[in-house]
Amino acid sequence: MAATTRLLSRLALVTGGGSGIGRAVCQRFASEGALVVVADRDEEAANETLRSLSRDHKVQEHMAAVVDVSSKQSVENLVAIIQRRYFQPASVCVTTAGITHDDFLLRMEEEHFDKVVQVNLKGTFLVTQAVAAAMVASGVSKGSIVTVGSIVGKVGNIGQVNYSASKAGVQALTRTAAKELSRYGIRCNCVMPGFISTPMTDKVPEKVISKMTSLVPLGRMGEPAEVADVCSFLASDDSRYITGASVEVTGGLFIG
């Protein structure tokens, strides 16, 4: 997709911006004129994304920040840092920070269930709540929050009882947030990627990758940039009449 300027001067926070889909979202948003806050628990990774961002438009002062989305204190600090630096809250937020810790249901340790839910679901809650509160306090007129679910939150996946449950929760959280926040001019939508080539899926055994790929009607894994394109649409005014939606970016995987 050709770059546009539809996010010109929008301040965008991207959690998990240090890697994979989050990094691609940061790059896409910057190329469309946004000021990007790259937030990740991995500082060096966030800085690497920061260095890769385009600065073709005036006043594109991007920044990198460390955050642990599963910590309320850390998320609130991040929102405060953004306010101090830009004198306004982010009006766009994409919550890509996420983890996996796979195992079969019968072997899943409670600790690994809790950790994945804490980062993926509670982290999305904490970021959505803090960012929305800052938007409401500043009277933002065009807020857009894009959460990142997963197609497995809809259909389930062997070995991912924790992850699939957390992602189903993200989708439901997003629908509820959309209902509650529309009166404040804030839209909330969920992207549901299928099988995307990132460091997260690099951990998946080759055998599983080729089996999954064979099930994708478009015949290949997706690229992070293909998810970023959808996030950019949902962040921008081009989607101004869309809220509470879940958009599958799966190459047709599990369409039925």
Stretch that binds ligand NAP, among 3-11, 41-49, 125-133, 134-142 (CB under 6 A): 41-49
- Confirm whether 163 is a catalytic residue: yes
Footprint (CB under 6 A) of ligand NAP, residues 84-103: 96-99
Please check whether residue 64 is in contact with residue 49, taking contact to mean a CB–CB distance below 8 angstroms: yes
The helix (H) or strand (E) run that includes residue 65 is: strand 63-66
Report if residue 248 touches ligand NAP, rule: CB under 6 A. no
Give the residue ranges of DSSP H helices in the chain: 20-31, 43-52, 72-86, 110-117, 123-138, 152-155, 161-181, 199-202, 206-215, 224-235
**Alpha-carbon separation of residue 210 from 65, 164, 221 (angstroms):** 36, 21, 9
Catalytic-labelled residue, pool 86, 163, 184, 241: 163
Task: Give the residue, chosen from 12, 94, 119, 168, that forms a contact with ligand NAP under the rule CB under 6 A.
Answer: 119
Q: Strand, helix or coil at 215?
A: helix
Indicate which single residue of 8, 117, 136, 200 sits in contact with ligand NAP (rule: CB under 6 A).
200
Q: Is 198 in the site for ligand NAP (CB under 6 A)?
A: yes
Q: Which residues pair with 92 in a beta bridge?
A: 12, 144
Query: Whole-number minimum distance, CB 185 to ligand NAP, in Å?
Result: 26
Which positions are annotated as active-site residues? 163
* Contacts with ligand NAP, residue ranges (CB under 6 A): 15-16, 18-22, 40-42, 45, 67-70, 96-99, 119, 123, 148, 150, 193, 195-196, 198-201
